Amino acid sequence: MKDVIAHYYFRPDGRTTPQEAAQAIAEEQSTGTWTTLTSRLDYVRRLDGIVESVEASGRGYLTAIRFPVEIFEPGNVPQYLSVVAGNVFGLGRLEAVRLVDVEFPESLVRFNGPNFGIEGVRKLLGTHDRPHVGTIIKPKLGLNPADTADLAYEAALGGVDFIKDDETLTDHAFCPMKERVEAVMARLDEAKSETGRNVLYAVNVSDRADKIVLRAEEAIERGANTLMVDVITCGYSALQALAEEPGINVPIHVHRTMHAAMTRNPEHGIAMRPLARLVRMTGGDQLHTGTVSGKMGGKAEELVLDNHALTDPWFGFKPVFPVASGGLHPGKVHAELEALGTEIVLQAGGGIHGHPDGTAAGARAMRQAADAFLEGVSATEYAKTHIELARALKLWGTS
């Protein structure tokens, strides 16, 4: 494939036929405008977007539009998005339009991709053939570095593989990033001496474009073994800058905060799949994609395909670890693993820290729920011999 194929769902307004609506998308995002242009000469017309197909789908239509590769600047993801997801969402002739997916030719995906990916992250932790269990420091804001570190220590003792800042915590006066990293990593070293296990801690380095690499380097200098970036608010170029910086030699965990402004409406905006592809291209090692049973759940069939966009063979890029997060607790683990498989990070914040016996017990309960699934036993049955899981199920149930 030489060109870019963008797939859209749309509903035309009452004065526009489906074919006319698809043509309007193709023209608006390539060489056209609302009026006749004397400057739209033949050599310009060869760069027109071309409507490949239009077919009925639900209340609207699906269209595939071919955009000539020449209208994309290789390596410039902001410019890619300006073509496939630019003014189209404001077109008056469309009642709704959603970018469903994008197919890129090899000439436009000459990025490094993930430096670690699933295999690299597993190697750091020494895990095989099981889901990772992670947690988020809760409350998401307000704790000082010492208390943040204490929670991380308890979670590590309980058996989590991964700990992260929440999306709103960066470098605050009440919890400075440098002090937080030093405190957390010191307590994780203590936990390792007691358990023999490595645990990753993703510090949120989200910042303005000209400072994010420096902030990441400062975190690594203080011992950070994973970074986190809010990719929608910072931009894909920020992720690319982190992944391509030679001195940054730790995994990058990608949070999708603000994504639902684009992904939530099933008829308008941008689906998760193209966003996931861009994360993989620009170097994310782990990415939140959603849950089938949590508070930010989505349609299981769509989520499975989103995760496949991260893990299936694609231009030689390493597979990205999908992350299920948002309202998870031990009683929901079976539903997540049954739908999404075990090549995933199960991430619980309140579902670990809210355990009646504390954070360490909550972490054990999540691990026990995952172990039960792997052994082909229901969580309820497994809880008969695992008190932490039993206490969690009594509090939250199994759905």
CB count within 10 Å of CB 107 equals 13
Q: In this structure, how many other beta carbons lie within 10 angstroms of the beta carbon of residue 83?
A: 18
Q: Taking the CA atoms of 316, 321, 324 and 330 in sequence, report the sign of the dihedral they define.
A: positive
Q: CA nearest 211: which of 171, 246, 176, 253?
A: 171
Tell which residue, 8, 253, 259, has the closest CA to residue 115. Answer: 253
Closest Cα partner for 94 from 9, 36, 4, 33? 9
Torsion sign across C-alpha atoms 140, 294, 225, 259:
negative
Q: Are 363 and 332 in contact (CB under 8 A)?
A: no
Query: From CA 247, how far away is CA 119, in angstroms rounded?
Result: 21
Angle between helices 145-158 and 177-195 (to 10 degrees): 30
Residues catalogued as catalytic? 138, 255
